[in-house]
Structure 1
């Protein structure tokens, strides 16, 4: 360590400090004639030094300390601990790990720090045979990026990547940029194995009760030319269908299509399997799981219109984009309409109530229930009757006159996740016809789109809604929606922005409000085997204030009717409960809790899915490892050349890196100066007392 002294004022002040010390000593000891001269000079010297040091500290000098250290070179052994690494046998892998242990020891003897890191950003400090090759996926790019991040700014010179080169997640590591050399050690067999596998099983995530849905199974084979196998589709152990596939070439890929029927409500678990063949390398990839969410019917919408209109076709196109909707369109005929006897989730009234009151009885019958309503105003709408039946706004029309306006999205509307930048398109749309007059929002109503006349921004709503009260409702105060959709297509070659706006408004007013006081739901619908299943818990009192610290009993039941029971207490700091070690399958859960003297219940289901990524490809890819080493200035090794790895790393002569740190402190903060002054004063006082001084 090297230290230097810096002054915040002129160094000439040192002379003043010395003069002060000398003056103090002279004034104190010049009159003592009864002491020996040597004693007198010694005491004067002690006082001189003590006073000079104290005065010197008063000018507040600084001490600059520079510390230089040598940082040892570092090498990281990055081990791919995925399941595919054991495909060639654990014995060969153990031999490789033992050889790596010797390399690690040789490098440590040469003064090189060696660390071990595996997938998942975990480290290994002991024997490498402690590494468990249980990772269900391989992301080498993520492994190398974690090393780069963890050792940023440190003297990392080389990384030794031990892998079979098989990646099934993330981007290829060859696309990354690394500031260290990567030496790769290839393990595994690069010769393709004789194998039959189901690459994928694809089906719609959603199906409706009683409907048929397709399941496509992709089958690949290698080395079974002239053979055949059977693909079977099962549900709960019951065979639904089977088909035979023939392998005409040494390497084949083909798709098999099944048709299944949705017979039960809820998540259904189907299994596609292919019969094992003699000589297969592994049968782990002969099965794939398929999960279908079967729902009981679609959300029903009634579109009731006064007369045919181009807007009706536009609304129909918007609604039919969503497969969860079932639309009935009825046009009034002499004031009547044959409305199906259904319970609707949303009613759309186009130009109703009308000026002639032709559809008044039908409208009254529809509005007798508290079904959510979307009113679309047209030139035949009776504004007075509309004001009487809608909870959104009051329109004071002037003699049936119409106005032409464009739309301007209300950026302050936060109920929906809408892109304000995209909805700037509304200002470039053709004007729609709206009643001319004053518009006044009713309490709790919110504006989604304002009216804009040319470039003039107005405070009149064009599209508004109200989510309070017994009936949720929205009003689109103009007709001409069909022109908007055509113009959007002309400008963007798509019909997405206007459609998304109307779809989300309809979803918002038709969604059923959840008034349950106990809500337990999974953080997501699907989890992977080995992951923790996280369940969120919400509890409320009678006025729907959040409650905590009430015990919850949770029952989780698997497809095999095996039930696990848990009891937990959510708190304000942690309302999540996690369950580990659930095998793959569909699980139903039931949660109960006593709230306000009543037992509240919440039900649901989730999926635990097994992704057999490591079984899909068991052929080592040493070409990728060679390319990675070549790009980063490293070298490729295999089990036969592993012995030269330590020698090559030593020959690269990784050197330690000198690092220096600088520290600037006030001299008065040095503790030894305090003890120096104390010692000088103490010695002087002791000598004075000893020689009879006062």
Structure 2
């Protein structure tokens, strides 16, 4: 307590005593002990009331001992089992958990990783991908500003994410890799990577790129072939040597038939190869007879246009053409969707032609949009024009039901620039994204879709969404989430297909090391999305005739099922709605490719490099005792004493209030008993 507070308390005591003496000593007619009892109670009441008003406080300081953290990251991918390291992992974990001295010095926590990163409760070694970089980055964020040396139990073979070897500069804590597998170099031929388009056009050639690698010392030759069924569609002989360990083949194949075309690429193994799984790889191309053509009409240059194009052409079934308004008028019939970017009076002839041809449109407005012109050029929407600008953010309408939209964290995306004013849509519509300012909706749509007599239109009132694509990459190290959002919007707007009550979205083929997901939307008889329905998907393997039924789970405004548990093969599926005579059928193929089976040994050099660059040290699995000894001997990892200072009230106001009431009640009772009231 401060000196000032103590003086106030003394003053309160003196004042309370003076008032009590004045009331029961000087003015009171009572005699003997009664006046002293009543005077004391009145003093207590007055003093406690004044004490409650002063509210004295004092500082409380507590001390805690915090042990250094020791996160243990465990590789839960299938390659650990392929390299025969499951028992080594179990032994390492047992040594860590049973060492009492280590557990006394460190606060240990266990995490497993494959494609994702999570707290470890059990290990399956069935993850189909390995993302070491993500696991280290999340650990770095989780233990930011803490002493947390990290044990990394892995074979070092990464199949997803950025290269962890070159990301080590961002890791603040020491990393101690425990290497699973040996460093012996075996003779091996391998298809390192195969790149091709997912789609090709009928009667065209599509490119294929194959990277082949060789591990060995003697000069060798092998034959590389690509087959489709029993037919060989490409063949060449490839030489390798100790100095020439990699070959890149570029060739084209013919798309001669519509539909899914499956191929097998193979480099014939050498006689002494240990791992022959990585000598072949299946791939597929869906051949289509026409593309979805999108025309972007713009008078200005803007980064949004580049982001728009990159997102749309991510799907090879779509093409994008840019034209100025004067050039676009005569070309509209060649396109399924016309995107009008920030239109002004130079777009007059384009809008007139769109009205004649009933082309589907997406209007994107911004600070350079002429709203006086745009309000008169169409009848779907109207905005109060002004010369003021406004920055707005987006909020996903969870009830949007026109098509499935995944929330890509719209709330936290950078703001878009728009002209200030109320936007009113005068035709039946659904708002997908709402405008927000400082976290509050302002009543205006940011993105809304309309469908009238089979014609589909949309209004996007905001420029600067190229930053959304950039932020998407910064957050997820991929543009995919934003590109999928744009792709779904374009797919809906470019189609004139009549809407059905059950819409199912699936791919023609999947690789089994990637997510295998099918989504669906179910609408009631008024074509309003029904989130109370129960959807099931029945999946049948066409070869084994095995049939499996999965429930589809509700995700905001669509239903989804994850089919990664299915083995490779060809499948037919039927999505049905419980207690409704509504269903939708289709088929897909799962191609067999287990990237975790491609490795012969541990990537020792990368693990040693990341240990060295973070001032840690790498150990092999049999050296776990040496790792524990090194951690125990390191004087940099010490307990930290932390103090916490709190300012707390001297007396709880509830207790003071109780004592005041008690003193007043006692005084009243005594006075009543003695006939003084």
Same fold (TM over 0.5): yes
In the TM superposition, what is the alpha-carbon distance from 1:417 to its structure 2 partner?
6.8
TM-score, structure 2 length as denominator? 0.62
In the TM superposition, what is the alpha-carbon distance from 1:196 to its structure 2 partner?
2.6
Question: 2:222 matched to 1:197?
Answer: no
Choose which of 85, 93, 99 in structure 1 pairs with 2:88. Answer: 93
Question: What does the per-residue CA deviation read over 1:380-433, in whole Å, with 9 as the maximum and x for residues that have no partner?
Answer: xxxxxx99x95648xxxxxxxxxxxxxxxxxxx981679x79x99xxxxxxxxx
Choose which of 632, 636, 660 in structure 1 pairs with 2:614. Answer: 632
Distance 1:640 1:468, change over 3 A: closer
Alignment of 1:508-657 (within 5 A): 511-522=494-505, 529=512, 533-540=516-523, 544-550=527-533, 552=535, 554-558=537-541, 560=543, 562=545, 564=547, 566=549, 573=556, 575-580=558-563, 581-585=565-569, 587-591=571-575, 602-606=584-588, 608=590, 611-639=593-621, 641-653=623-635, 654-657=637-640
**What SS does structure 2 have at the residue aligned with 1:643?**
helix
Alignment of 1:44-193 (within 5 A): 44-45=39-40, 47-90=42-85, 93-94=88-89, 96-97=91-92, 100-101=95-96, 104-110=99-105, 112-119=106-113, 120-124=116-120, 130-153=122-145, 155-169=146-160, 170-175=162-167, 176-193=169-186
**Contact 1:6/1:64 (8 A) holds in 2:** no
Separation in 1, partners of 2:374, 2:204? 47
Distance 1:265 1:391, change over 3 A: closer
Question: Bigger radius of gyration, 1 or 2?
Answer: 1
In the TM superposition, what is the alpha-carbon distance from 1:688 to its structure 2 partner?
9.2
In the TM superposition, what is the alpha-carbon distance from 1:290 to its structure 2 partner?
0.8
In the TM superposition, what is the alpha-carbon distance from 1:52 to its structure 2 partner?
1.1
Separation in 1, partners of 2:199, 2:292? 14
Choose which of 277, 285, 293 in structure 1 pairs with 2:286. Answer: 293
Question: What does the per-residue CA deviation read over 1:188-240, in whole Å, with 9 as the maximum and x for residues that have no partner?
Answer: 211222223222333332233455656554443334956665555444x5454
Separation in 1, partners of 2:223, 2:235? 6
Separation in 2, partners of 1:298, 1:263? 16
**What SS does structure 1 have at the residue aligned with 2:613?**
helix
Distance 1:551 1:693, change over 3 A: closer
In the TM superposition, what is the alpha-carbon distance from 1:71 to its structure 2 partner?
2.0
**Contact 1:553/1:565 (8 A) holds in 2:** no
Distance 1:687 1:234, change over 3 A: farther
**What SS does structure 1 have at the residue aligned with 2:362?**
coil
Separation in 2, partners of 1:678, 1:439? 73
Separation in 1, partners of 2:374, 2:54? 77
**Contact 2:129/2:595 (8 A) holds in 1:** yes
In the TM superposition, what is the alpha-carbon distance from 1:264 to its structure 2 partner?
4.7
Separation in 2, partners of 1:91, 1:570? 34
**Runs of 5+ consecutive residues of structure 1 not aligned to the other structure:** 302-321, 327-346, 353-366, 375-385, 394-412, 425-437, 448-465, 474-503
In the TM superposition, what is the alpha-carbon distance from 1:26 to its structure 2 partner?
6.0
**What SS does structure 2 have at the residue aligned with 1:75?**
strand
Question: What does the per-residue CA deviation read over 1:3-61, in whole Å, with 9 as the maximum and x for residues that have no partner?
Answer: x4697x894464144322453266336755454xxx97577545533431222112344
**Runs of 5+ consecutive residues of structure 2 not aligned to the other structure:** 295-314, 320-326, 339-348, 383-449, 458-486
In the TM superposition, what is the alpha-carbon distance from 1:619 to its structure 2 partner?
3.4
Distance 1:692 1:615, change over 3 A: same
**Contact 1:591/1:603 (8 A) holds in 2:** yes
**What SS does structure 2 have at the residue aligned with 1:183?**
strand
Distance 1:255 1:621, change over 3 A: closer
Separation in 1, partners of 2:125, 2:318? 47
TM-score, structure 1 length as denominator? 0.61
Distance 1:637 1:53, change over 3 A: same
**Contact 1:174/1:627 (8 A) holds in 2:** no
Separation in 2, partners of 1:416, 1:585? 43
Separation in 1, partners of 2:590, 2:625? 44
